[in-house]
Chain A
């Protein structure tokens, strides 16, 4: 186990800067998820930690050792790849033993470690099979096994579940979480799937365009996003953004937007907005789909149902009359609502976020 420290890490491909000087400390035994859309630099960052990509600038420490110029095999890391990257000509046992044999471990030790890993991963009966004879889930387990037997300081995982079907992905998600807790190892996990990030990570690192947007626990990133990007990226369905204005009059401070949306701010919000000079200024309101209510006492929005998606326990409802405002709400109804139905929609104002349209940062 070891901490991983990234200081001003950069990666350039010619003139293109894929990772733009990021700082990040991953604590000993922590499960950190790098998440972001394609091309955000998350995989490049992971590959730099692995030593598969040269670091263009900055310092990378694993434990207390500066590893910028240390080859992958000497970094004491193990990596699990998206397409498993198993050796197709070797059977499961040989796949797991490969790294140990290269390190010239005694035969008994190799045997012991593989048997333990196979037991943990339920691969005891598959040891003599070749990867081609295994299912996707089993192959991913072998890839995990190959990493476990090495007993590395740091586990690196590059979208390991992307090639699995939905059901197996959920199952493997919990298995990897359990495994990391059981082994107590440091894990750096890359994914573009925010559900994986939310469910697996002790901390989430949200990236975009080679820059870290926010680092925090899943709760922090979900409930207190730092900016528009994080707010929109984390959460499914995504947060609703409504463009409007802050209006102040004798009866209070309101968020006003077309068509006819008028929501009164809480005292604290009103104070912040006024103090920070956003009165009568353009602003973006962020509301998560679950913070809409039906039959509200005040802060009403008159909405017409457009599309209703029945998710079983709840409904995802889209509205047609809120011009330009693409809004989805997670609501519960006693009986299935219909397209065209009129609804009074409320907003839980305590849980909304305000963003500065110029900087896209949250206003707190």
Chain B
């Protein structure tokens, strides 16, 4: 009985995800007229105009490029900083390392909305609004704590004796970091990279706060433009959503194991 109950629950959950997703796919191949007449059904006629329009009229390439630049730069900055911080956390003896680790975990707990106003103040005083660099810096700091949580949790499990052995072998702190800790933390780095990728790629809040120039907009922000005051072009938005989600889906398909690793990061204590 319990077995079937569990299956029914899972089926309902699956439906909750699959049905809206199917609607998004169907809608992206409908004309606006067709969508308002028949919002749920199969597209009639089946058209690809929305996708063509996306690239021809809506500067989709520019938005895509902006998203790639912001996301890639953020990932690189976050990985470099987070791995160094994690190394410190691992090497600091006793409570100091744990305090530093807790400090970064605390950063994960604060909702982004809490910082919005002071952050805007700082960024605009620095003259970094409406610039990719500003957005990259803000994204890097915002998502650093997640990466520290994942990489730090992993590095803490590295054998202490191995690190000591390398210091006796003659390695400096920098050499231990680059030649021992970093290569061994590659799985955690991959996991952190994917998490940060998904978060930055899909992020709407920070681009919305700091970017107004059309040429600098990222994909999620650009999609907002299709939402009008009186009329929303749903087929167009959904086509954009699908294009925007392609990289994430690809990443998920190929790097699934790292996603799962990230979910359990920090669960084991070294």
A87 and B168 contact, Cβ closer than 8 Å, known pairs A81-B161, A102-B175 = no
Q: Is B45 part of the binding interface, using a Cβ–Cβ cutoff of 8 Å?
A: no
Which residues on B sit within 8 Å (CB–CB) of A35? none
Contact between A99 and B170 (Cβ–Cβ < 8 Å)? yes
Instruction: Give the residues in chain B near A89, CB-CB below 8 Å.
Output: 183-184
**In the complex, which of the residues B159, B164, B168, B170 has the most CB atoms of chain A within 10 Å of its own CB atom?**
B168
CA distance A81 to B161 in the complex (A): 7
A79, CB-defined interface residue at 8 Å: yes
**CB proximity to A under 8 Å, residues B119-135:** none
Partner-binding segment picked from A70-78, A170-178, A285-293: A70-78
**A81 contacts B164, C-beta separation under 8 Å:** yes
A348 interface residue, CB < 8 Å from B? no
| Chain A, residue nearest B169 (CB) | A99
Give the chain A neighbours of B183 by CB distance below 8 A: 89
B105 within 8 A of A: no
Known: A73-B171, A102-B171. Contact between A87 and B166, CB under 8 A? yes
Q: A87-B180, A88-B184, A102-B175 are in contact. Are A73 and B165 (CB under 8 A)?
A: no
In the bound complex, do residue B168 and residue A83 qualify as a contact, i.e. CB atoms below 8 Å apart? no
Decide yes or no whether B10 CB sits under 8 A from chain A: no
Distance of A85 Cα from B163 Cα, bound (Å): 8
Interface status of B38 (Cβ within 8 A of chain A): no
Interface residue? A60 (CB, 8 A): no
By the criterion CB–CB under 8 Å, are A85 and B159 in contact?
Answer: yes
User: Which chain A residue shows the least CB distance to B167?
Assistant: A72
Interface residue from A71, A81, A102 paired with B165 (Cβ < 8 Å): A81
Output the least CB separation between B177 and chain A (Å).
14
A203 at the B interface (CB under 8 A): no
Within 8 A of A (CB), among B231-251: none
Residues A83 and B159 in contact, CB atoms below 8 Å apart = yes
Residues of A within 8 A of B165 (CB): 79, 81, 85-87, 146
Q: Is the CB–CB distance between B168 and A50 below 8 Å?
A: yes
In the complex, which residues of chain A have a beta carbon less than 8 angstroms from the beta carbon of B170?
A: 73, 99, 102-103
Q: Are A87 and B167 in contact (CB under 8 A)?
A: no
Supposing A87-B180, A88-B184, A89-B184 touch, asked if A77 and B168 sit within 8 A by C-beta, the answer is: yes
- Whether the Cβ atoms of B162 and A72 lie closer than 8 Å is no
Asked if A315 is at the interface (CB within 8 A of a chain B CB), the reply is: no
By the criterion CB–CB under 8 Å, are B169 and A98 in contact?
A: yes
Across-interface contacts of A59 in B (CB, < 8 A): none
- Closest A-chain residue to B186, C-beta based? A89
Tell me the minimal C-beta distance from A348 to chain B in angstroms: 46
- B172, closest chain A residue (CB): A73
Taking the complex as formed, is A82 at the interface, i.e. its CB lies under 8 A from any CB of chain B? yes
A73–B175 CA distance with the chains assembled, in angstroms:
12
Q: Inside 8 A of B169's CB, which chain A residues have their CB? A: 73, 98-99, 102, 146, 150
Contact of B161 among A51, A82, A99, A102 (CB under 8 A): A82
How close is A318's CB to chain B, nearest CB, in angstroms? 40
Could you tell me the dominant secondary structure of chain B's interface residues? helix
B182 to chain A, nearest CB (A): 10
Chain A residues lying within 8 Å of B166, measured Cβ to Cβ, are 87, 98
Q: Does A52 contact B (CB under 8 A)?
A: yes
Known: A89-B184, A102-B175. A72 touches B168 (CB 8 A): yes
For B164, the chain A residues whose CB sits under 8 A away are: 50, 52, 72, 79, 81, 85
**B171:A86 contact, CB within 8 angstroms:** no
Question: A360 to chain B: closest CB distance in Å?
Answer: 35
Q: Which residues of A contact B184 (CB under 8 A)?
A: 88-89
Task: Give the docked Cα–Cα distance between A99 and B175 (Å).
Answer: 11
Q: Which residues in B have their C-beta under 8 angstroms from that of A73?
A: 167-172
Q: How far is the CA of A81 from the CA of B167 in the complex (A)?
A: 13
Complex: how many Å from CA A178 to CA B165?
24
Closest to A102 in B: B170
Q: Tell me the smallest distance from the CB of A106 to a CB of chain B, in Å.
A: 16
Bound-complex Cα distance A52 to B175 (A)? 17
A79–B184 Cα distance when bound, in Å, is 22
Beta-carbon nearest neighbor of A150 in chain B: B169
Q: Is B162 touching A86 in the complex (CB atoms < 8 A)?
A: yes
Bound CA span A83–B168, Å: 16
1/0 per position for A148-164, CB-CB distance to B under 8 A?
00100000000000000
Within 8 A of A (CB), among B139-175: 159, 161-162, 164-172, 175
Question: Do A85 and B162 have beta carbons less than 8 Å apart?
Answer: yes
- What residues of B have a CB within 8 angstroms of the CB of A98 in the complex? 166, 169, 171, 179
CA A87 to CA B167, docked complex, whole Å = 12
A52 and B164 alpha carbons, distance in the complex (Å) = 7
Q: How far is the CA of A89 from the CA of B179 in the complex (A)?
A: 10
Q: B162–A79 contact, CB under 8 A?
A: no
Residues of B within 8 A of A51 (CB): 168
Measured CB to CB, the nearest residue on chain B to A51 is: B168
Give Cα A87 to B166, complex, Å: 9
Cα distance A148–B109 in the bound complex, in angstroms: 50
User: Of residues 163 to 211 in B, which have CB atoms within 8 Å of A's CB atoms?
Assistant: 164-172, 175, 179-180, 183-184
Question: Which residue of chain B has its CB nearest to the CB of A47?
Answer: B164
- Closest CB-CB distance, A24 to chain B, in whole Å? 21
Q: Which residues of B contact A (CB under 8 A)?
A: 159, 161-162, 164-172, 175, 179-180, 183-184
A-B residue pairs, 7 tightest by C-beta: A99-B169, A85-B161, A85-B165, A102-B170, A73-B170, A81-B161, A85-B162
Could you list 12 A-B pairs, sorted by A, with CB under 8 Å? A52-B167, A72-B164, A72-B168, A73-B168, A79-B164, A81-B165, A85-B161, A87-B162, A87-B165, A88-B162, A89-B183, A98-B166
- Taking A86-B162, A87-B162 as known contacts, 7 extra A-B pairs with beta carbons closer than 8 A to each other, sorted by chain A number, are A72-B168, A77-B168, A85-B159, A87-B166, A88-B162, A89-B184, A102-B170
